[in-house]
Amino acid sequence: MRHLMSPLDFTVEELEHLMDLATDIEHHRDAYAHICDGKKIATLFYEPSTRTRLSFETAMLNLGGSVIGFSSAASSSAAKGESVSDTIRMVSCYADICAMRHPKEGAPLVASEKSRIPVINAGDGGHQHPTQTITDLHTIRSLKGRLTNLTIGLCGDLKFGRTVHSLIHALARYENISFILISPDELRIPDYIREEVLDARQIPYKEVSNLDDVMNEMDILYMTRVQRERFFNEEEYIRLKDCYILDAAKMSLAKDDMLVLHPLPRVNEISTEVDDDPRAVYFQQVQYGVYARMALILILLQLDPLAAS
């Protein structure tokens, strides 16, 4: 039985296969409409979410399966003091697969150790968010045609943004990738990612604080929200929250084929005037996320019709 805790749990080849499957699903929706008949996904969300939870639920419903779960710690037995390990043992009796989001780093990993069903990390604190990364990779591959030879700008809260951490881990495995890390000093990428991923793999990168200066260098601009819920101090959040606002003037400095991604939710960091720019693909990204999660569910349930037999 396999779980998904980090994007690195899948090899590059396995991820390629997952994305091929996601593309096949996109083009043959009817062929997949009943593949999970009778199966259930449990979405155990101890932290707020709109997209990710609904994306998992939509993915399972699209496959013919059904959904159980909770959308906040307050509405689950966690409020009574139940441990994640006990919850997953119980859920293993109800569902065939589960997606868990938790504010504590490592909670889904703890759950996976006691689980009888595959556990998917749907975001653990400021740590990792592997299914967002699979979504991001699939979006880039579908719209750019490649995951190699790219200059990728990551902008905003690089310290607390788990989507950024997972994406750097995953993209660092592809050929000829370089990163431009755009953040205020206070929100720079954590040292462990700089040392264990970028330096260890000798990936070219630079850290800058001015977005305008690098707009024309990027193939992908990945914008992120300042992660208010992970700040210790509200004043610090207020000081930093609008540090970058992508607007039409900035977009005019970018390459004609640069893509703007964002894991969403957006707060102020992308002006709504950018939404109509054909390079803004953050809502398409949401759709690609459903196909990618459908493919992931099939693989983890060993129902992948494209698997080599």
What residues line the site for ligand NCD (CB under 6 A)? 51-52, 123, 129, 132, 162-163, 225, 263-265
Other beta carbons less than 10 A from residue 99's beta carbon: 32
Which is nearer to ligand NCD, 96 or 157 (by Cβ)? 157
| Structural tokens at position 127 | 């740590």
* Cα angle value 237/238/241 (rounded, 5°): 75
Which is nearer to ligand NCD, 229 or 247 (by Cβ)? 229
Q: Nearest distance from residue 146's CB to ligand NCD, in Å?
A: 24
Closest CA to 262 of 10, 6, 51: 51
Q: Nearest distance from residue 246's CB to ligand NCD, in Å?
A: 15
Which is nearer to ligand NCD, 35 or 270 (by Cβ)? 270
Which is nearer to ligand NCD, 3 or 53 (by Cβ)? 53
Other beta carbons less than 10 A from residue 215's beta carbon: 21
What's the chain's Rg over C-alpha atoms? 19
Q: Which helix (H) or strand (E) holds 181?
A: strand 177-182
Q: How far apart are the first and last CA of the chain?
A: 17
Q: Nearest distance from residue 32's CB to ligand NCD, in Å?
A: 23
Which is nearer to ligand NCD, 15 or 99 (by Cβ)? 99
Indicate the length of the chain as a whole number: 309
Which is nearer to ligand NCD, 265 or 305 (by Cβ)? 265
Q: Nearest distance from residue 171's CB to ligand NCD, in Å?
A: 17
| Separation between Cα atoms, residue 220 and residue 46, nearest integer Å | 31
* 271 and 246 Cβ atoms separated by less than 8 Å: yes
Which is nearer to ligand NCD, 40 or 129 (by Cβ)? 129
Non-local (6+) Cβ contacts of 202 within 8 A are: none
| Separation between Cα atoms, residue 295 and residue 168, nearest integer Å | 22
Closest CA to 40 of 138, 136, 117, 109: 117
Q: Nearest distance from residue 292's CB to ligand NCD, in Å?
A: 12
Q: Nearest distance from residue 163's CB to ligand NCD, in Å?
A: 5
Task: Establish how many alpha carbons lie within 13 A of residue 237's alpha carbon, considering only the half-sphere containing its beta carbon.
Answer: 12
- Give the dihedral sign, CA 245/155/11/279: positive
Strand order in the sheet with 97-102: 66-70, 40-45, 97-102, 119-124
Which is nearer to ligand NCD, 35 or 100 (by Cβ)? 100
Q: Nearest distance from residue 15's CB to ligand NCD, in Å?
A: 19
Q: Nearest distance from residue 149's CB to ligand NCD, in Å?
A: 26
